[in-house]
A and B are shown apart, each in its own frame.
Chain A
Amino acid sequence: MLRYFLKRLLSLALSLVAASVVIFLVLEVVPGDPAAYMLGLNAQEDTLNALREQLGLNGTILERYLSWAGGLLTGDFGVSYTYRTPVAEMIGDRLWVSLPLALYALTLSTLIAFPAGIWAASRRGSFVDTGVMGATQLGVAIPNFWFAMLMVLVFAINLRWFSAGGFAGWDAGFLAGMKSLTLPAIALALPQASILTRVMRSSLLDTLSEDFIRTARAKGLTRAQAMWRHALRNALIPVLTIMGLQFSFLLAGAIIIENVFYLPGLGRLVFQAISARDLIVVESVVMLLVFAVIVVNFAVDLAYALVDPRLRRRR
């Protein structure tokens, strides 16, 4: 068990090192001098040089990589070129928006998808099933930014129940914070819920057609009993995989939604940083996301073991 754990840890570390090299190299060869971007159209060569020196951009690629990667190990993400504040601090601030938003959206999508998927699977072929499947098709097809704009139009501009965007801040209270995340979370959750519902349904149906369910039914369990006692747990594995993927996606992929609602989240930070050639911020955020994906995958692996005892014993 310990050996397995250490092996996992080593592979985790290696993936992180590999990711850091790739991220750094890819961004360093991207054209665009951060200093030129910051100083605009009237800057003179000596000014540009002075700024490059200040930003530590004059070193060789290897020197810069080592200082960046070395910093990461100690939790020092460097200083943003444009904002001139520690990157770790900026990411920390933004995580307080993006993380709750991703969790909120994931919770909403789970709360919708589980009952809907189970309901559709248990009434296979009925008009409930057709209805749920039709709705999920719509949910997948509607672009979430369009749905977001529609919600702003209805709930912010016409009804005035919510503000059109922005983040009240957790200082304003938990409820105020959650309120400003509600519309974005719904917009994000809708397509996710649709996908999850479909996975839930088909996974349940697959499990329901397996031999052990037939055995259970033969022993006298009703279809519903068989489903709740035996099928559900087994059907969860693909659902958990999708949820793990969705969480990473929600954390990183909320860029458009964060722009529509002008939320000060990670997605918007990375978007601004890319256009401003704030390479160190981009590198650090991407690195963090890679880390998040790896950790989430690890957590999903653990969750597999929880729902499926066979996986636990194999280890």
Chain B
Amino acid sequence: MRLTKLGSGLISVLALAAGISMAHAKSDIVVAMQLEPPHLDPTSAAAGAIDSVLYSNVFEGLTRFGPDGSVNPGLAESWSISEDGKTYTFRLHEGVKFHDGSDLTAEDVKFSLDRARGEDSANAQKALFAGIESVEAIDPTTVKVTLKEPNGSLLFNLAWGDAVIVAPESIADIKSTPIGTGAFKFSNWVQGDRIDLEKNADYWGTPAKLDNVTFKFISDPTAAFAAVMAEDVNAFVGFPAPENLPQFEADPRFQVLVGSTEGETILSTNNKQPPLDNPKVRKAIAHAIDRQAIIDGAMFGYGTPIGTHFAPHNPDYVDLTGLSMYDPELSKELLAEAGFADGFSTTLKLPPPSYARRGGEIIASQLRAVGIETEISNLEWAQWLEQVFKGKDFGLTIVSHTEPMDIGIYARPDYYFNYDSPAFKELFEKLTVENDPEKRSELLKEAQKMISEDYVNGYLFQLAFPTVANAKIKGLWKNQPTQATDLTAVYWED
């Protein structure tokens, strides 16, 4: 009798314990990343770290990127486009509230877009809004955007972090207290250490599954490894040390997601500096490079070879790696044809990331093999921006262009690689005003081919994006269609 009592008591205790653990499926997460945002306003800095923390979590735009890079409705429930492609009418979701409790209205949208394109705007991607003629608030939930001429990229442009909707009354403190409409609210920032977000109970859409989110900033690769191993952090997005990934893959506590990014890593070439102004010389350089050796040597095998300035995961991508196959003999022939049978020497200026520093050493030795001597100099980012990007004082450099869909930079003759092609500009103008998806796709493919055949730059590889996380976490983005750590659908598996 006693024993059964004890037994049933034990069972009920166990059941209770199980019930408690079921009810307490973990709802907090600590996510680490390498860089800390300088401030919290995605609309006035280029720092990707700002979007990494806030995009979709705290701030939302009219449209938003999905995990696969598709453009989906965001705050705009739907839209219609006029016949001439110049007028977009957006219908906003009803009942959307900012985190301070105020309602989102068409006036806020007008304010946000006007602020971004205004004269004294400090928006890093101001060009995204350049084609907008006017923004009108028709009624509280309807906004009309009129363009100077048709722009097939508008919906895509509005999905950027730089185009999120902000409220006029929150602008003064936005850099330290961001107020958005997202599924998470900003709660605390200990500079140098962490940013805390909490669930927004009044969210207009599908509520977040997590209650609390902490972002930690760990820049040192060794410290990153230690933090994940000691399980101080639950996930590390953009894990900085690819050499450690196999170890995590072998450990059942962790999952490793290796996704793709919008980062085209290229051997940028100064198209105006002799002898690099000679297309044959550029072609020779392209054929002298063994991409796989760079991916293996500099990135421990993580990265996808590319042959043009376009993301391989994009449906419009064309594989043009064949145009610049590794062929040192051909490279030497081309150099001889161009009048450099004995080679030449040029500069190779490298910014700090390891893809550039490690990759640079490998490229230098590959170029030396065909007779091209490079004088390597290692620069800090600020120096690189000053000398290479702004001063155009370089022969070659290695850098990853991480802006989504940025093939348009080839239509800017004053851009640092000095590519001035009327044919490309014309093509790009056609692309800009084209609204038909099929025709756009064709034009995009043509654009990829054009720059690849002109050997504007040496196209190396698409940066991989490794995330190491606790094996029980679900719903993390694998790819990086934009620099975001969208946690709105993340949860812990029981």
A152 to B229, CA, bound (A): 10
* Chain A positions within 8 Å of B386 at CB level: 31-33, 36
* Chain B positions within 8 Å of A83 at CB level: 38-39, 175, 191
Say yes or no: is B223 at the interface (Cβ < 8 Å to chain A): yes
A44 near B126: Cβ-Cβ < 8 Å = yes
Please, what's the 1-or-0 string for A23-43, where 1 marks a CB less than 8 Å from any CB in chain B?
000000001111011111111
Please, what's the 1-or-0 string for B229-266, where 1 marks a CB less than 8 Å from any CB in chain A?
11010000000000000000000000000000000000
Residue with the greatest number of chain B CB neighbours at <10 A, chosen from A46, A94, A164: A164
* Chain B positions within 8 Å of A152 at CB level: 223, 226, 230
* Chain A positions within 8 Å of B191 at CB level: 83, 85, 90, 93, 264
A166 near B216: Cβ-Cβ < 8 Å = yes
- Closest chain B residue to A276, Cβ basis: B38
* Chain A positions within 8 Å of B126 at CB level: 43-44, 46-47
A37 to B47, CA, bound (A): 9
Say yes or no: is B3 at the interface (Cβ < 8 Å to chain A): no
For the complex formed, measure the closest distance between the CB of A85 and the CB atoms of chain B, giving whole angstroms. Answer: 6
- Closest chain B residue to A44, Cβ basis: B126
* Chain A positions within 8 Å of B176 at CB level: 84-85
B39 near A166: Cβ-Cβ < 8 Å = no
B403 near A259: Cβ-Cβ < 8 Å = no
A38 to B44, CA, bound (A): 9
A276 to B385, CA, bound (A): 11
* Chain B positions within 8 Å of A44 at CB level: 126-127
A300 to B207, CA, bound (A): 60
A42 to B385, CA, bound (A): 12
Please, what's the 1-or-0 string for B86-123, where 1 marks a CB less than 8 Å from any CB in chain A?
00000000000000000000000000000000011111
Say yes or no: is B218 at the interface (Cβ < 8 Å to chain A): yes
- Enumerate B216-230 residues with CB–CB distance to A below 8 Å: 216-220, 222-223, 226-227, 229-230
For the complex formed, measure the closest distance between the CB of A268 and the CB atoms of chain B, giving whole angstroms. Answer: 6
* Chain B positions within 8 Å of A31 at CB level: 382-383, 386-387
Say yes or no: is B454 at the interface (Cβ < 8 Å to chain A): no
* Chain A positions within 8 Å of B190 at CB level: 93, 169, 264
B125 near A32: Cβ-Cβ < 8 Å = no
Given contacts A42-B127, A275-B380, contact A165 B232 (CB under 8 A): yes
A82 to B176, CA, bound (A): 12
- Enumerate B381-416 residues with CB–CB distance to A below 8 Å: 381-383, 385-387, 389-390, 401, 403, 406, 409
* Chain A positions within 8 Å of B124 at CB level: 38-40, 42-43, 47
Say yes or no: is B325 at the interface (Cβ < 8 Å to chain A): no
- Enumerate A265-284 residues with CB–CB distance to B below 8 Å: 265, 268-269, 272, 275-277
Say yes or no: is B36 at the interface (Cβ < 8 Å to chain A): yes
Say yes or no: is A149 at the interface (Cβ < 8 Å to chain B): yes
A157 to B248, CA, bound (A): 14
A39 to B389, CA, bound (A): 12
B230 near A163: Cβ-Cβ < 8 Å = yes
* Chain B positions within 8 Å of A275 at CB level: 352, 380-382
For the complex formed, measure the closest distance between the CB of B173 and the CB atoms of chain A, giving whole angstroms. Answer: 10
Say yes or no: is B46 at the interface (Cβ < 8 Å to chain A): yes
Say yes or no: is B450 at the interface (Cβ < 8 Å to chain A): no
Given contacts A33-B385, A33-B390, A275-B381, contact A163 B232 (CB under 8 A): yes
B45 near A39: Cβ-Cβ < 8 Å = yes
* Chain A positions within 8 Å of B387 at CB level: 31
For the complex formed, measure the closest distance between the CB of B121 and the CB atoms of chain A, giving whole angstroms. Answer: 6
* Chain B positions within 8 Å of A114 at CB level: none
A32 near B385: Cβ-Cβ < 8 Å = yes
Say yes or no: is A19 at the interface (Cβ < 8 Å to chain B): no
Say yes or no: is B168 at the interface (Cβ < 8 Å to chain A): no
A262 near B403: Cβ-Cβ < 8 Å = no
Please, what's the 1-or-0 string for B411-449, where 1 marks a CB less than 8 Å from any CB in chain A?
000000000000000000000000000000000000000
- Closest chain B residue to A165, Cβ basis: B223
* Chain B positions within 8 Å of A58 at CB level: none
* Chain B positions within 8 Å of A33 at CB level: 382, 385-386, 390
* Chain A positions within 8 Å of B226 at CB level: 149, 152-153, 156-157, 164-165
- Closest chain B residue to A94, Cβ basis: B192
B38 near A38: Cβ-Cβ < 8 Å = yes
A40 to B401, CA, bound (A): 10
Say yes or no: is B193 at the interface (Cβ < 8 Å to chain A): yes
Please, what's the 1-or-0 string for A228-249, where 1 marks a CB less than 8 Å from any CB in chain B?
0000000000000000000000
- Enumerate B43-79 residues with CB–CB distance to A below 8 Å: 44-47
For the complex formed, measure the closest distance between the CB of B399 and the CB atoms of chain A, giving whole angstroms. Answer: 8
B121 near A47: Cβ-Cβ < 8 Å = yes
* Chain B positions within 8 Å of A214 at CB level: none
Please, what's the 1-or-0 string for B282-312, where 1 marks a CB less than 8 Å from any CB in chain A?
0000000000000000000000000000000
Say yes or no: is A133 at the interface (Cβ < 8 Å to chain B): no
Q: Which of these, A46, A262, A276, A277, contacts B220 with CB under 8 Å?
A: A262
Say yes or no: is A54 at the interface (Cβ < 8 Å to chain B): yes
For the complex formed, measure the closest distance between the CB of B226 and the CB atoms of chain A, giving whole angstroms. Answer: 4
A262 near B223: Cβ-Cβ < 8 Å = yes
- Enumerate A69-97 residues with CB–CB distance to B below 8 Å: 82-85, 90, 93-94
For the complex formed, measure the closest distance between the CB of A38 and the CB atoms of chain B, giving whole angstroms. Answer: 5
Given contacts A33-B385, A90-B191, A163-B232, contact A260 B223 (CB under 8 A): yes
Q: Can you name 6 A-B pairs with beta carbons within 8 Å?
A: A31-B387, A38-B38, A38-B45, A83-B191, A163-B232, A164-B223
Known pairs A36-B389, A152-B230, A157-B226 / 17 extra A-B pairs, C-beta < 8 Å: A38-B45, A38-B124, A46-B119, A82-B39, A82-B45, A85-B175, A149-B222, A149-B226, A166-B216, A169-B190, A259-B220, A260-B222, A262-B218, A262-B227, A264-B193, A276-B38, A276-B381
